[in-house]
A = this chain, B = another copy of it.
Amino acid sequence: MDKTTDLSYKKILIITGGYIKEGLLESLIRKEKYSFVIAADKGLVSANRINLKPDYIIGDFDSVPPKLLSEYKAKAIPVETFPKMKDKTDTHIALEIALGYNPSFIDIVGATGSRMDHTISNIELLMNALNQDVNVRILDENNCIYLKNKNFIIKKSEQYGDFISLLAFSNQVNGLKLVGFKYPLNCVTLTKGSSLGVSNELLEEEGRVYFEEGILAVIEARD
């Protein structure tokens, strides 16, 4: 089976150009065993740092040393170059490519960092995955960020950190009910501008999140 044409039921990793803390990438690759890795622009520098050979490289490459790019091209890895003046960020293009493979799961690293416009835009991009019903997580050393538009469960055994924060990503989230959490809620309307859902914690082995309407941004976080 051609790896590039059928990645159904496979996990894809996107490495993009924000800050990636030493060790994070290696530990994720070890744990998640991704079947396909896309490096977006400066994400190639991070991949190269741990001698990782991506399966696909995309970007405008305005922030990648030309020598490095040539080295990877010589390894017969597909490289797709986009103009700098384009309507989408490199991460957006990488996510579209990943979603095109109809995978079961996508993780993105390097999507957070000092440039908050990129960070927030990258979180907003998750809408595109939600619309296609594909689970995508943005991961960094402290945070695991994802969107949900229907009830879900968080298991303590799989938690990313001590804290779980729920924020209204759509203008409003109706009928929010939390079971198994330190601060339970019952039929609450969460609006943008409320900090009610920040820094909750699991009390039981499972935290169950129910809601009737809206989109939640979920951040599992550690200090």
- Among A154-172, those with CB < 8 Å from B are 163, 165, 167-171
Q: Is A217 an interface residue (CB 8 A)?
A: yes
Closest CB in chain B relative to A67 CB, distance in Å: 22
Chain B residues, CB < 8 A from A117:
143, 163, 165, 167, 198-199, 219, 221
Q: Which of A127, A142, A195, A223 has the most CB of B within 10 A?
A: A195
Q: CA of A219 to CA of B217 in the docked complex: distance in angstroms?
A: 20
Q: Cβ of B115 and Cβ of A193 under 8 Å apart?
A: no
Q: Cβ of A124 and Cβ of B193 under 8 Å apart?
A: yes
- How many A residues are at the interface, by size bracket? 35 or more
Given A112-B116, A120-B217, A143-B116, are A199 and B89 neighbors across the interface (CB < 8 Å)? yes
Q: Is A118 an interface residue (CB 8 A)?
A: yes
Chain copies in the assembled complex? 2
Closest CB in chain B relative to A193 CB, distance in Å: 3
Q: CA of A223 to CA of B116 in the docked complex: distance in angstroms?
A: 10
Q: Cβ of B168 and Cβ of A171 under 8 Å apart?
A: no
Given A123-B120, A195-B89, are A170 and B171 neighbors across the interface (CB < 8 Å)? yes
Q: Cβ of B193 and Cβ of A118 under 8 Å apart?
A: no
Instruction: From the candidates B115, B143, B196, B199, name the one contacting A223 in the complex (CB within 8 A).
Output: B115
Q: Cβ of B142 and Cβ of A115 under 8 Å apart?
A: yes
Q: Give 21 CB contacts A-B under 8 Å.
A: A88-B195, A89-B195, A92-B195, A112-B116, A114-B143, A115-B142, A115-B221, A116-B140, A120-B120, A120-B217, A120-B219, A121-B165, A121-B197, A121-B198, A124-B192, A124-B195, A125-B193, A127-B191, A131-B193, A170-B171, A171-B171
